[in-house]
Structure 1
Amino acid sequence: MTGVDMPGVDMPGDDTIGGALVLGGAGFIGGHLLADLASRGVRPLISVDIADPERPVAGVDYRHGDVRRPFAEVVPESVERIYNLAAIHRTPGHPDHAYYETNVAGAVNACRYATLRGVPRILFTSSISVYGPREEPCGESAPLRPESAYGRSKALAEAVQEAWVEADPGRRRLAILRPAVVFGRGERGNFDRLLRQLRRRAFVFPGRRDTVKGCGYVGELVRAMAFCGTRDEPVYRANFAYPEPATIEAIARTVALEAGLSPPRLTIPTGAVMTAAFVLELLGGLGLRTGINRDRVRKLLVSTDARPDRLLADGYRFETDLAAGVRAWLDSLRTG
């Protein structure tokens, strides 16, 4: 048992990978991706990360390395594919320079390694943050207007890797997948916080219920990554989120229903929520950590309605929807 989901998806051409390097393999998405690749018999299968994995996957060669610096000495072998997942991504939570130091420098060093070892393909997990906050639906053709350091660093990292392709477009291939909120076992983010608050009956809607939040289950994301790995365009860009837009009310009610909990009903005016968040920030300075602050509240007030137009147009079929994804996530928590 690996402790992570292994979708075992049969995607044409993707299970012929001769070897793969996963940058950031000790993280949430990296663990699920490595489990899937290992289940396909991909060898060698190498993970480079500054952290140790919480749930090591059998068959993976875990190595310590920092993508902010050249790592060719850590991986003297050549592989057929690089999955560039390494990132600083929690927002808020880091000074602005940290996002650039990891996300942009990581892209530079991934390309440097690929060039040195002759690796022909990179798959990069970017973010819908490159579009910036906007209420209207957002497909891949939307202009990039990142407003956060995280979003700007991801947009720059995309450009770095696109330049790597432009140096040899006949041979090199880059797939850029821009996920919305991804949930699943090991996430420790938005969905985990929502579940904890629902269990305590502490979740309230902050000012509005109709904020659209693009999201998707991590097992579905791994399937989409396999699909993107079969594309032969020099640069392939795709959003990842369920096609049916979900409001925070729909998400909260779905999680509550699947978990057997009471759905939230209370909506608190925005001003009152922001005042409470400010107080909790002050208490956080005194050592009381709640995970609630004004920046996180603001994120709940702005829609991120990313649409997976490219995946759908190219024939990708989602195996789950929001309810099925939440069910799979909760089942993985119960089974351990």
Structure 2
Amino acid sequence: MTGSSGTAVVFGGSGFIGRHLLAALVKRGHLVVSADIAPLDPPIAGVRAALCDVRRPIPDELVPRSPGNAPSIVYNLAAIHRTPGHPDREYYDCNVSGALNVTTFCRDLAVPRLIFTSSISVYGPAEQAKHEDSSPAPESPYGSSKLQAEAIHRNWQSERDGRRLTIVRPAVVFGPGEHGNFTRLAQALRGRRFLYPGRRDTIKACGHVDELLATFDFADALGRPFFLYNFCYPRDYSIAEICEAFHRVAGLPLPWGTLPYAGMRLAAQPFEWLAKVGIETGIHRERIDKLVRSTRIEPRALAGAGYVFGTDLESGLARWRDATQGRFV
């Protein structure tokens, strides 16, 4: 987001992170184009929204041709990421084909800077800490497709001098509009429906969406031809510490016990049968598996480059609380 010359194009602008990014880019004075298969609803003042499916070739006309309007930076946030939730092939159709089409668009329009959001899923779940030099070992189609997409973006960068690529591997990102893991956790805590699944010490790497955007700025300002980094708070937070932070920040009730892991998996199976006939509850054995598997991630590259975090878990949750009148939506 550094600087305001030229046009910033955001693929996946209608999503959670995308909407925050669009608003920040407009505030910085950029000309902004949002390209997404979903409408930008509600609209964001100052953003030109275009319907775009990254699985298909992207027309050059996405950005209006006029002096000074050439794209100066592209953000590729477009992805299918909900797991479970899609057939395996759909992750590759969107995430890999999308990478090919977005980099072709950048090639055709001589875009000099590209920021791509990958995922910590490329590492696979592990109790051992993972950092940028750790060998990727994805276990899901989502993680595998993101790793392939990284290679496609890196190939674009290496083709010609002057191209700059940033690859971000975010952990769980929370904040207004997330509607994901942290939102579901807050709702379950408020309704006294959350019990620790099998253990209390599962590590869950995370960070606030505003902090993620700050790292975009920081990485772009480094001016390096290639920079890859993990995004999450530098301190490990267990699921118990996350629940305790919600309790301190918003008074949400603490979990009232721990359920055996095997029992939770068994109890989830009928809900999967309901999903097959169109009754979606969000309860699935794979989601329970994710709750008991640690994502222990180190943002070593950011630390090594001198980045200083402006929030931590508790202040990030407080910021989210204040922005949503305590509803955590």
So what's the TM-score if we normalise by structure 2?
A: 0.94
RMSD: 1.5
Q: Give 1:103's aligned residue.
A: 95
Q: Does 1:59 align with 2:51?
A: no
The letter of the residue matching 1:175 is: T
Deviation at 1:225, TM superposition (A): 1.0
CA distance in 1, matches of 2:18, 2:118: 14
Match 1:329 to one of 285, 295, 320: 320
CA distance in 2, matches of 1:85, 1:301: 27
Q: Which residues in structure 2 correspond to 1:190-209 (within 5 Å)?
A: 190-209=181-200
Deviation at 1:307, TM superposition (A): 1.0
Deviation at 1:135, TM superposition (A): 0.8
The letter of the residue matching 1:65 is: C
CA distance in 1, matches of 2:5, 2:300: 26
Q: Does 1:164 align with 2:156?
A: yes
Partner of 2:62, secondary structure, is coil
CA distance in 1, matches of 2:174, 2:101: 28
So what's the TM-score if we normalise by structure 1?
A: 0.92
Partner of 2:286, secondary structure, is helix
Q: Give 2:262's aligned residue.
A: 271
Q: Give 1:4's aligned residue.
A: none
Would the aligned equivalents of 1:63 and 1:74 in 2 still touch at CA under 8 Å?
no
Deviation at 1:303, TM superposition (A): 0.7
Deviation at 1:286, TM superposition (A): 4.9
CA distance in 1, matches of 2:285, 2:5: 45
Q: Give 1:23's aligned residue.
A: 11
> Matched residue pairs, number?
322
Would the aligned equivalents of 1:31 and 1:55 in 2 still touch at CA under 8 Å?
no
Q: Which residues in structure 2 correspond to 1:141-290 (within 5 Å)?
A: 141-168=133-160, 170-290=161-281
Q: Give 2:86's aligned residue.
A: 94
Pick which of 207-216 and 271-280 moved more: 271-280
Partner of 2:324, secondary structure, is helix
CA distance in 2, matches of 1:172, 1:73: 19
Would the aligned equivalents of 2:60 and 2:108 in 1 still touch at CA under 8 Å?
no
Deviation at 1:72, TM superposition (A): 2.0
The letter of the residue matching 2:158 is: E
**Could you list the per-position Cα deviations for residues 123-182 of structure 1 after superposition, in whole angstroms to 9, with x for gaps in the alignment?**
0000000111111111111011111000000000000010011111x2111000100000
Percent of pairs identical after alignment?
47
Point out where structure 2 has 5 or more consecutive residues left out of the alignment. Answer: none
Q: Does 1:295 align with 2:286?
A: yes
Q: Give 1:3's aligned residue.
A: none
CA distance in 2, matches of 1:107, 1:289: 30
Deviation at 1:282, TM superposition (A): 2.5
The letter of the residue matching 1:57 is: I
**Could you list the per-position Cα deviations for residues 201-228 of structure 1 after superposition, in whole angstroms to 9, with x for gaps in the alignment?**
0000010111101000111111111111
Q: Give 1:126's aligned residue.
A: 118
